Amino acid sequence: MSDAKKPGVEEMSADEKQIRAEFEALLQDYLNSNHRRKVELITKAFEFANQAHSGVKRRSGESYILHPLAVARIVCREMGLGSTSICSALLHDVVEDTEYTVQDISNMFGPKIAQIVDGLTKISGGIFGEQASAQAENFRKLLLTMSDDIRVILIKIADRLHNMRTLGSLLPAKQFKIAGETLYLYAPMAHRLGLFSIKTELEDLSFKYEHPQEYAFIQERLDATEEARKKLFGHFAVPVDKKLQSMGLKYEMRARVKSAYSIWSKMESKGVSFDEIYDIYAVRIIFESQLGIDEKNQCWEIYSAITDIYRIRPDRIRDWVSRPKANGYQALHLTVMGPDGQWVEIQIRSRRMDDIAEKGFAAHWKYKEHNVEEDTELDKWLHTITEILENPNPNALDFLDTIKLNLFSAEIFVFTPRGDIKTLPQGATALDFAYALHTNIGNKCIGAKVNHRLVPLSHPLASGDQVEILTSRSQEPQPDWINFVTTAKAKAKVDYALKRSRREVAREGEHKVITALKNAEIDPNTGELDKLALYYGFPKREDLFYSVEKGETVLPENLKKILKEKTDNFFFKYLKQALGVGKTQEEDASVEEEPKEKPQYDKKRPYILREEAFNRNYVLAECCKPIPGDDALGFINDDGNVVVHKRSCPIAMRLKSSFGERILSTEWSSHKTASFEATLEVKGIDSLGVLSNISKIISEDFNVNIQRLLIEAKDGVFEGKIKMKVHDVEDIQKICVKLSKLKSIKSVGRVGE
C-alpha cells in the first residue's frame, strides 16, 4: 500500500507540518534576539521533546509538543530569555509525562538545564496540588526554587500564560479553578517580576472566563469609543511631535489603552460607570538613548518640553527614574491638561526602560554582558520571601495570603537615623520598619521616633520619613501587634512569636489541669481532657490550658461532678455541634447508625441552583451573599453541600486557588417565589421628599420589601444604604434605573453589607 493510501498519513503530515512551522518560528524569534547563537542545542532539545511526546494529544486535539513550543516562544519573544531557558521550556514536561529522568536530561543537555527542568517538575500541576494540605508545601518549593534560579518561575509563568490562552477547550469548573489561581497568584507574581504585558494579559484572560458578560461589555465600549480616543490623541500629539523633533530626538509616541480588567476593577472599587473612568488611555513616549547623555536627564528634558506646551497637574508627578520600583520599573509619569480639556497621563521612558517594563528582569540580560548582578532589588525580595519561609504559617491559605502581601504592594522609601534607605510597602507602620531592620528589634520594639517626633507602633509611615526605633529588653510581642503590621515578614514574625508564647503559657496550664484531675482521682487521658474542654466551651484542649493559666477559667475542686456526665448526653452533643468538634472515641464506639453518603456531582455539566417549596439545593455564602443572576460558582463543602459564591468574591478566589477539585460551574433556575437580601447604596443632593420618593419607588412600583433604610444628610448632600428582599439581579437593575431618574439622585448601585 502506498503512503498516500495509508490511513492517517495525511492527518499526521498536516500535524507534522504545523509542528515544523512552529519550530521554525521559534528559531526565527531566537535569531532576531541578541543572544549567543546556540541553534544546535535548541534543535536538539526540540527533537528530543518531539520524540518524547510523540503521539500525545492535548484536550483541544492538537499535538502535545505544540504546548512546549508555544511556551518556548513566549520565553524567547515575550520575556527576552536565551537558549538555556528556551531548551528548559521545550523540555519542561518531559520528566513529568514520560519515562525520561532528570539524570537523562543532565546527561544530554548539562546540569543547568536539568536543574531548571527539575524545579519545574517539582512544582508540576501549578502552584497548588489537588490536596489543600500539600498546597503550602508546593508553594514553598516554588519560592525556594526561585532563589536557586529565577528562570524556573519565569518559565512557569510562560506555561500558565499559554494554558490561559487555550483555556476555552476545558470544562467551566476547570476554567474557574485555573482562572482563579491565575488571578490570585500568577498575575501578582508576573507584576512583581516586572512582566507588565504578561501580567495584564493574565488578568484580562482570567476576567474573560470568570465574567464573560462584563468583559464583552467593556470591550464593546472600548471599541465604540476608539475613534474619539484617536481624535483626542491626534490633537494632543501635533505640538509635542513638533517640539521633540526640533530637539533632534529619536522617539516613538503612542497611546496605551487601559486593560479591560483594570477598567472593571476601578468600576467595582469606586462604584462608577464606564463613562466615569477618565484615565482609560495614556500617552507613552519612548526615546532612543543618545551616547554620552544620561537617560535621566533626557527624561527631564522631554518633561520640560511638554510642560512648556501643556499645563501640568503637580500632584500627579511620579519619578520612577531616580528611584526605580522594586520590580525594576523605570519611567517618569506626569499628567497634563490636553487641548480638549481632558487630563492626559504621559509616561516617558528610554528604550531600555521600556524593555524592562515589558519583559521585566529578563530584559536586564539584554543590557549586560553577563547575567543579572546578584545585588539586585529582585534578590533582596527573594531574600525576604526566604525569611518568611523560615516560620511558615501552617494554614495553607493564610500562608498564601501572607506571601501575597508582598506581591502587589506599592512602595515607600524610609530613612534610618544614619541615612540608609529601606523600601517598604505603602501603608507600612513603625513596627513593620522595626521588623525590616531585624527580628529582635521588632520583638523588643516599644515605640518609634518619626522625624524626631514620638509615635506609637501602629503609626503609618510615608515616603521620606526618618525613623528611629526605641526598644526595651523586657518587651515581648503582644496579641494586638498583628493588627499593627502590614508586611508579610512582620506578620509572619509576630504570628510565630505569639504562637510560641501561647504554647508556653498553655504548657503551664496543662500541668495545672492534669494536677487537678489527679487530685480528683480522675485519669488525665485525652478523652477526659476533651470532655473538660467541651464543658467550658473550648473546641481544643490547648485553649482550655491557656485559659486556666491566664486565670480566665477557674477549675472547681469537685471535677468528678462535671465529668460524670456521659459523652453522648444531650448537653455534650449540643456543645459539639455548636463548636464544630468531631466525636470522641467513646462516642464513635456508641454510635451504630451508618454515616450519610455524600452526594455525587457531575462536573461536566453546570449544577442547576433550584428552589422548590422553599427548599434549596444549595447554601448561600455569607461572605458575598449572591442572588440569582449574579456570576456565581459552587463549592462542595466537607458535608457534601454546594455553597454558592459570587465569582468575584475574594473568598471564592482563595477556594478556586486551593480546592479546584471541589469547584462546580452553576446556573440559576427561575427564583420568582424566593427572596434574597441585597443592599443598595444611594448618593445625591438633599431635598424635600427625597426619602419618601425612594421608598415609594421600591415598595410600591416594584412591590419589594425594605428591611432597613439608613440615610445620612450633611452639608446639602446625602448618602444611604437600603437593605431589601429581591428575586434576582434583574430586580436590582430595574430599581437602580428607576431611582437614577430622580433629579436629586447622583449615583445608585448595589454594594455588600
Q: Phi, psi (5° rounding) for residue 419?
A: 95, 5
Question: What single-letter DSSP state applies at residue 460?
Answer: B
Beta strand 467-471 with 642-646 is unpaired
Nearest Cα neighbor of 283 from 230, 357, 221, 223 is 230
Residues, the chain, total?
753
* Annotation marks residue 96 as catalytic: yes
Q: Is 328 left (phi over 0), alpha (psi -120 to 50) or beta?
A: left
User: Would you say 488 and 403 are in contact if contact means Cβ atoms under 8 Å apart?
Assistant: yes
* Annotation marks residue 345 as catalytic: no
Would you give the distance in Å from CA 710 to the centre of its chain?
34
Instruction: Determine the Cα–Cα distance for residues 121 and 399; give it in Å rounded to an integer.
Output: 22
Positive or negative CA dihedral for 83, 88, 91, 95? positive
Give SS3 for 416.
coil
Q: What is the DSSP string of 18-43?
A: HHHHHHHHHHHHHHTSSS---HHHHH
Which position among 29, 62, 97, 379 bears the catalytic label? Answer: 97
SS (H, E, C) 599-636: CCCCCCCCEEECEECCEECCEECCCCCCCCCCCEEEEE
Type of residue found at 451: N
Give SS3 for 569.
coil
Q: Which contiguous run of DSSP H or E holds residue 388? A: helix 377-390
Q: CB-based contacts of 697: which residues, under 8 Å, 6+ apart?
A: 735, 738, 739, 742
User: Would you say 661 and 130 are in contact if contact means Cβ atoms under 8 Å apart?
Assistant: yes
Q: What is the DSSP string of 175-190?
A: HHHHHHHIIIIIHHHH
Nearest Cα neighbor of 685 from 731, 743, 752, 625 is 743
User: Would you say 302 and 287 are in contact if contact means Cβ atoms under 8 Å apart?
Assistant: yes
Within a 13 Å sphere around the CA of 123, how many CA atoms are in the beta-carbon half?
A: 27
User: Would you say 386 and 147 are in contact if contact means Cβ atoms under 8 Å apart?
Assistant: yes
Q: Phi, psi (5° rounding) for residue 86?
A: -65, -45
Instruction: Determine the Cα–Cα distance for residues 443 and 485; give it in Å rounded to an integer.
Output: 12
Which position among 10, 96, 130, 480 bears the catalytic label? Answer: 96
Furthest C-alpha separation in the chain: 98
Long-range CB contacts (within 8 A, 24+) of 212-220 = 213/631, 214/264, 214/631, 215/260, 215/264, 217/274, 218/260, 218/263, 218/264, 218/274, 219/260
Positive or negative CA dihedral for 553, 554, 555, 561? negative
Give SS3 for 270.
helix
Catalytic residues: 96-97
